[in-house]
Amino acid sequence: MSTNHDADHDTDRDAVRLTGVAAGYPRRPPALRDLTARLPRARRTAVVGPNGAGKSTLLGVVAGVLRPAAGTVTRHHPGRPALVAQRSAAADALPLTVRDAVTMGRWAHRGPWRPLTRHDRAVVRDCLDRLGLLDLAGRQLGELSGGQRQRALVAQGLAQESELLLLDEPAAGVDLAASRRISAVLAAASERGVTVVQATHDLDEALRADHCLLLADGRQLAAGPPADVLTPEALARAWGLPRSVATASNAATVSNASNGLVNGLVSDPSCP
Ligand SMILES: Nc1ncnc2c1ncn2[C@@H]1O[C@H](COP(=O)(O)OP(=O)(O)OP(=O)(O)O)[C@@H](O)[C@H]1O
């Protein structure tokens, strides 16, 4: 196993390459198995797959918070990745305002004790503005709605000004307007040169990405342009759904049906 920072190799095309990566958790079967994948530089990559497919584990490995048990992760970008994890109850319980939470994104540059510079303050304001949070900046994080909190976490990730932004279901539980705003913010970030990688259950959002990885049971089923990856056949294979329901243009149906399968609401996959 190794994690390299290789500034010379293929720097034009890929921000990260994974080769034969296996990763997981103590006393559990591997959550990722023999995964070989590329994350194109300055593009948006969507990581798609059923619950438990290994999406969060992949983000953890790329972020460097989870050590692979085998294989190689090669990063071709300077600096630390920014990881926007799924919402945690612990963060909600802390006595932080939205502005405090977004300001914490600057700690990657400043550390928690050094005073903020004018640039830090400008970045925090800009990130609050991009996510439509200026009016909520003084509110306690724990007092926000789920969707508002989610936007604050995305703003915090953005405030790190990392060249590699990893997000675990950034639009989970947010309304349509907020999810479009998050999507537009991520698209703008990749246009500015940021490599954006997001795990998502929203297949329409995945179709808007530049690149897509489809995972199931810790393995990569397909990778490439989203429209080529999210075929009815591939979706049916990943979710164990009948091909008739698994069309990318009918993302809500796929999502609902797959959630139903996972939650045991649909016991017979042939009767969606
Ligand atoms: N902290 C953990 N300890 C033990 N096992 C874990 C842990 N986190 C995840 N797993 C297991 O690893 C596997 C992959 O989980 P992971 O969270 O990466 O999937 P996912 O695709 O992100 O799922 P979801 O769509 O539900 O968020 C699952 O079998 C899960 O139960």
- The string of pLDDT tens digits covering residues 183-223 is 999 999 999 999 999 999 999 999 999 999 999 999 999 99
Q: Among all chains, which residue has been given the structure tokens 């246009």?
A: 191
Which pTM does this prediction carry?
0.86
Pairing of strands 2-5, 70-75: parallel
- Going by CA atoms, what residue is nearest to atom 16 of ligand 1? 54
Where along the chain do its domains lie?
A: 14-81+164-172+192-243, 88-161
**How many CA atoms lie less than 13 Å away from 196 in the CB half-sphere?**
28
> CB-based contacts of 67: which residues, under 8 Å, 6+ apart?
1, 3, 23, 61
Give the single-character DSSP code of 248: G
Is ipTM beyond 0.95?
Answer: yes
- The string of pLDDT tens digits covering residues 100-158 is 999 999 987 776 677 888 999 999 999 999 999 999 999 998 888 888 999 999 999 99
Statement: 14-81+164-172+192-243 belongs to CATH 3.40.50.300: yes
| Centroid of ligand 1 to alpha carbon of 56 (angstroms) | 7
- Going by CA atoms, what residue is nearest to atom 12 of ligand 1? 31
| Centroid of ligand 1 to alpha carbon of 121 (angstroms) | 36
